Amino acid sequence: MNDLMSAGLHRCWKRRFVASANPRPGWRVVDVAGGTGDIALGLLEWSRKLPGRAPPPVRVAPGDGSVDSFREAAERQTAAAEAEAPASCTVSVVDPSPSMMQVGSAKASAKGSTFASSIQWLEGRAESLPLDEASSDLYTIAFGMRNCTDLPGVLREAHRVLKPYGRFACLEFCSVENPLLSILYDEYSFRVIPPMGLLVAGDWDSYEYLVESIRRFPHQTLFANMMREAGFSAVNYEVLWPGVCCIHSGYKLPSV
């Protein structure tokens, strides 16, 4: 249904979200409302493409002094340093639905043992995460924030579990500011999506709720202010094409 409703755009939005989050090898990430595993797997794939910590300067004698022997020595030392560095980040997925996490766990297992072993699946809610204070380098939530009833509480909880200089990243639908697009978007949302849900998934009510929850979510500037009130700094948002969703970002600075 996600592919059908968004004409596949949700995949582009999620890829952009993962790239903007830019998780590094060795980071501890918490992905909230991520039971299907899409974001967690994307974060792992992204971090595995990145180098670990930078190798130290070459101290191995370059053999006969030729350029080739020096290059070989440098490559050996680089390989040794990369072998010591973490291969990827690790992700704790927190979701209130065990059945959704079973779907995500199956996806991770299908990707291989290295992916499956890098994800921890925890049942819990965004308002009360089963994580220690200052335990995460990155907090992500994609298309789940609008389902939370206590947004200020969720933001405070995100701030609590992040380490100093940790980053908060949220992908969510936003208010459409282009007047013409807003009219077309409303027509599509209210007149097409619920009937499509009934026809394809046999479920009108869930997709009607989807449309209504998007409209109830605060305007992006208001949500940015809520993030600041929760303690985040360097708050900003990026509206994604064609203007119906955006990435919210902020950082937890050390207490002074």
**pLDDT, tens digit (0-9, with 9 covering 90-100), for 218-247:** 999 999 999 999 999 999 999 999 999 999
What is the bridge-based pairing of β-strands 90-95 and 28-32?
parallel
The pLDDT assigned to 53 comes to: 44
The pLDDT assigned to 54 comes to: 42
- Top-confidence residue, 66 or 19: 19
Report pLDDT digits (tens) over 64-81: 555 555 456 556 654 554
Give the predicted TM-score (pTM) of the model: 0.84
Please work out, in degrees rounded to the nearest 5, the angle formed at the alpha carbon of residue 173 by the alpha carbons of 1 and 225: 160
The pLDDT assigned to 62 comes to: 47
Mean pLDDT to the nearest integer, 114-124: 96
Q: Is the pLDDT of residue 3 over 80?
A: no
How far is Cα 172 from Cα 210, in angstroms, rounded to an integer?
Answer: 12
For residue 55, give both structure tokens.
């190798």
Report pLDDT digits (tens) over 35-54: 999 999 999 999 998 764 44
The pLDDT assigned to 4 comes to: 76
How far is Cα 152 from Cα 50, in angstroms, rounded to an integer?
Answer: 34
Confidence of residue 207 (pLDDT cuts 50, 70, 90): confident
In order of start, what are the domains of the chain with their CATH numbers? 2-57+88-174+217-251 (3.40.50.150)
The pLDDT assigned to 45 comes to: 96
The pLDDT assigned to 209 comes to: 87
Looking at the chain, the whole-number percentage of residues with pLDDT higher than 70 is: 85
For residue 116, give both structure tokens.
């499956």
Distance of CA 48 to the CA centre of its chain: 15
Report pLDDT digits (tens) over 78-95: 455 445 556 789 999 999
For residue 15, give both structure tokens.
């890829």
3-state secondary structure the chain: CHHHHHCCHHHHHHHHHHHHHCCCCCCEEEEECCCCCHHHHHHHHHHHCCCCCCCCCCCCCCCCCCHHHHHHHHHHHHHHHHHHCCCCCEEEEEECCHHHHHHHHHHHHHHCHHHHCCEEEEECECCECCCCCCCEEEEEEECCHHHCCCHHHHHHHHHHHEEEEEEEEEEEECCCCCHHHHHHHHHHHHHCHHHHHHHHHCCCHHHHHHHHHHHHCCCHHHHHHHHHHCCCEEEEEEEECCCCEEEEEEECCCCC
The pLDDT assigned to 171 comes to: 98
How far is Cα 159 from Cα 143, in angstroms, rounded to an integer?
Answer: 19
Q: Is the pLDDT of residue 55 over 70?
A: no
The pLDDT assigned to 63 comes to: 53
What is the bridge-based pairing of β-strands 136-142 and 28-32?
parallel
95 labelled as ligand-binding? yes
Q: Is the pLDDT of residue 57 over 50?
A: no
36 labelled as ligand-binding? yes
The pLDDT assigned to 195 comes to: 86
- Top-confidence residue, 59 or 11: 11
The pLDDT assigned to 80 comes to: 57
